[in-house]
Amino acid sequence: MRFLHTADWHLGKLFGQRYMTSDQRYVLEELLSLVKEAKVDAVVIAGDIYDRGVPPAEAVDLMSEVLARLSERKVSVLYIAGNHDSASRIDFGRSVMERSGVYLRGRIAKGAEPVVLEDDAGPVYFSLIPFAAPLDVRDAFGIEVSISYDEAMEAVVADARSRIPAGVRSVAIAHAFLAGGRSSESERPLSVGGSDQVRPVHFKDYSYTALGHLHGPQRAGAENIRYSGSLLKYSFDEAKQQKGAIVVDLAADGTVAQEFVPLAPRHDVRIVTGTLDELRTDGFDPLPHDDYVRVDLLDKDTILNAYDKLQAIYPNLFALTRPNWKAKSADELAAPSQAQQKERSALTLFSDFFRDATEGDELSDEQRQVVAECLDEMECERREQP
């Protein structure tokens, strides 16, 4: 069986104050061409279909169009909810869509049956494992004690494996942060409590595991456990990443061959470094100037209207930094960076507040666990809101 592994489309994404829907439509045309050229039997989308729980109408229309075109070609589609998606909204129309070969799962559910697809060698069992927040797993499985993301995934995978016969080919589709993975700024943290990493060993019995969440294509503990990466570059720390999809060949004996196929975006995301005079010089930057660009301007002196002058060179200038300027830029004086915000999680901020309010007392381990669970529940509720 041959299938395409993709993930993290983030339809409706806002990047640099610009909706990326037209760019996403452009690259999805490439993906549809790849589906046709590679003659795949199925397309697997490992979560974060949309960028938020209630996506804009244009994003939903684009997803509907892609599903319709794949269905017309008799290509099966299997997709799950990621941490950016609304689980209940992803689940909409599931039983109706299955009649067209589109299989989806938004909510965590105990006893969920695998999707079984057939090829000349027999059945292939697909476990659809949407984003498994510990609170959702506790509710679905009737677990009364606190659990981590790793323990939540262990319970979900054990339940999924119990419904797959021994000795058959199997594929897991999951959305999680596996231990050892390399993250990017545009990925929303899975847990405000910080215990969000999952051991790859849970997926060892699957012939292949198609993962979503981390935006850089990478292996995760084994050659057959992989992240395909995101559809496009969604932050400047992804500028050097290659985006694409993985074509997976699953042999009759369960062995796997995979090929990463790059997809070319309509506009690349990149960082340009130089002085203003250099950037104005013909031939200094031979790449397309309508790319989505961040300029690291090396001039030491103050330049009046620097942004406007650079925008005349790069019409899609998204950001400007001044690493050598003796005065800090307005951006640097404003809010902390996304990376800094990640380092100071909501739990850390609450712990600092508690220490100040109690004149030096620290949260106990039990109190920290309760606060972490409350914050995780608030995050789950936030995902369900417009």
- For residue range 134-163, list pLDDT tens digits in order: 999 999 999 999 999 999 999 999 999 999
Counts for the chain of helices (H) and strands (E), in that order: 12, 19
Residue 137: C-alpha distances to residues 140, 143, 154, 255, 322 (Å) = 5, 8, 10, 31, 46
Written as six digits, the tokens of 202 are 């849970």
- Amino acid identity, position 317: L
Q: Angle at the Cα of 148 (from 147 to 151), degrees rounded to 5? A: 80
Q: How does strand 14-15 pair with strand 18-19? A: antiparallel
Q: Residue 351's pLDDT is what?
A: 82
Q: How far apart are CA 85 and CA 82, in angstroms?
A: 5
| pLDDT tens per residue, range 88-140 | 999 998 989 999 999 999 999 999 999 999 999 999 999 999 999 999 999 99
Residue 295: partners with Cβ closer than 8 Å, 6 or more residues away? 271, 272, 273, 274, 279, 310, 314, 317, 319, 320, 321
Sequence-separated (6 or more) residues with CB below 8 Å from residue 233: 239, 241, 243, 265, 268, 269, 292
Structure tokens at 266: 């309509």
pLDDT at 383 over 80: no
* The two structure tokens encoding residue 351: 């712990």
Lowest mean pLDDT segment, chosen from 86-100, 262-276, 336-350, 355-369? 336-350
Tell me the percentage of the chain whose pLDDT exceeds 70.
90
DSSP state of 193: T
> Residue 238 has what DSSP assignment?
G
Place of tokens 């993301």: 149
* Proportion of the chain in helix, strand, coil states, percent, rounded to 5: 30, 25, 45
**What confidence tens digit (pLDDT) does each residue in 8-45 have?**
999 999 998 889 999 999 999 999 999 999 999 999 99
190/317: higher pLDDT = 317
Burial 169-201 (b: 16+ CB within 10 A, else e): bbbbbbbbbbeebeebebbebbbbbbbbbbebe
The predicted pLDDT at position 129 comes to 97
pLDDT digits 0-9 by tens, 35-84: 999 999 999 999 999 999 999 999 999 999 999 999 999 999 999 999 99
Q: Indicate the length of the chain as a whole number.
A: 386
Residue 343's pLDDT band, with cuts at 50, 70 and 90, is very low
Tell me if 12 sits within 8 A of 50, measured CB to CB: yes
| pLDDT digits 0-9 by tens, 163-196 | 999 999 999 999 999 987 777 666 666 654 555 7
- Kind and range of the H or E run holding 211: strand 208-212
Sign of CA dihedral 146, 149, 150, 155: positive
How far is residue 210's CA from residue 224's CA, in Å, rounded to a whole number? 8
Handedness of CA 312, 316, 319, 322 (dihedral sign): negative
CA distance 46 to 82: 7
User: Which of 225, 205, 42 has its CA nearest to residue 119?
Assistant: 42
- pLDDT for the residue numbered 278: 96
Is the CB of residue 7 less than 8 Å from the CB of residue 47? yes
pLDDT band at 346 (very low <50, low <70, confident <90, very high): confident
Residues 268, 55: Cα–Cα separation, whole Å: 24
pLDDT greater than 90 at residue 356: no
pLDDT at position 333: 44
